Amino acid sequence: MGVENSQPGKAAIVNYELDLTEEEAERGTSRVLPRNGKRLQVTIPAGMKTGNTVKLTNALQVTDGQAGDILIQIRVKSGEEATATAAPAGVLVITDATFPVEVLGAELPVVVDFWAPWCGPCRAMSPMVEECAKLYAGRFKFCKINVDENPQMASQYQAMSIPMLLFFNNGRVVDKSVGAIPLAQLRMKMDELPV
């Protein structure tokens, strides 16, 4: 998620990357940045371009209890690029409103990917989730939920660190994985799930 740079005697700096759609970059947007079990509201001003940086002065005091800044590197994605990273093939994009039907009421076991577009490890997990969606088609249902846009489910399932995969069977959580994991480890989890 964040890359930390610190030197003894100096305030820490944590770097994040944030992908914005062209529309978000033009009009500005607001995002929630989960860090160390805290949720930091971030306002991205209008007129952002790829390469711009948003500095959150002394934000680490709030999230880490120490002096330091968070620097957010902006990347603006075209409409096609933004759509491509939003939902991989075979993975259903869900919301707070559709979660009960698509996940809790599903006939198949469900894997839910809690993610955010600014999260580098989330983007790294996306191809692995897509690969598993192909490999386990007909045996599992795969869903993806943006924690920034769907705070109700993110809060209910305590998605404070992302990427977070929750594995559901008959409407109940049967396993959980937090952080980016290799494809082999994800497949092992899938094969071991009680279905």
Q: Supply the pLDDT for residue 104.
A: 93
Rounded CA-CA distance 138/119 in Å is 29
The active-site residue out of 44, 70, 76, 122 is 122
Q: Supply the pLDDT for residue 103.
A: 93
Please name the CATH architecture into which domain 87-192 falls: 3-Layer(aba) Sandwich (3.40)
Please, what are the averages of pLDDT over each run of 10 residues along the chain (195 residues)?
51 79 84 71 87 88 86 78 52 90 91 91 90 89 92 91 94 93 90 77
Q: Supply the pLDDT for residue 155.
A: 92
Q: Are 126 and 88 in contact (CB under 8 A)?
A: yes
Written out in words, the top-level CATH class of the domain with range 3-78 is mainly beta
The alpha carbon of residue 116 and the mean position of all alpha carbons in its chain are separated, in whole angstroms, by 3
| 132 part of the active site | no
Rounded CA-CA distance 128/90 in Å is 12
Q: Supply the pLDDT for residue 79.
A: 59
Ordered by start, the domain boundaries in the chain are 3-78, 87-192
Residue pLDDT, tens place only, 149-193 = 899 999 999 988 899 999 999 999 999 999 999 999 999 988 887
The active-site residue out of 1, 14, 60, 119 is 119
| 122 part of the active site | yes
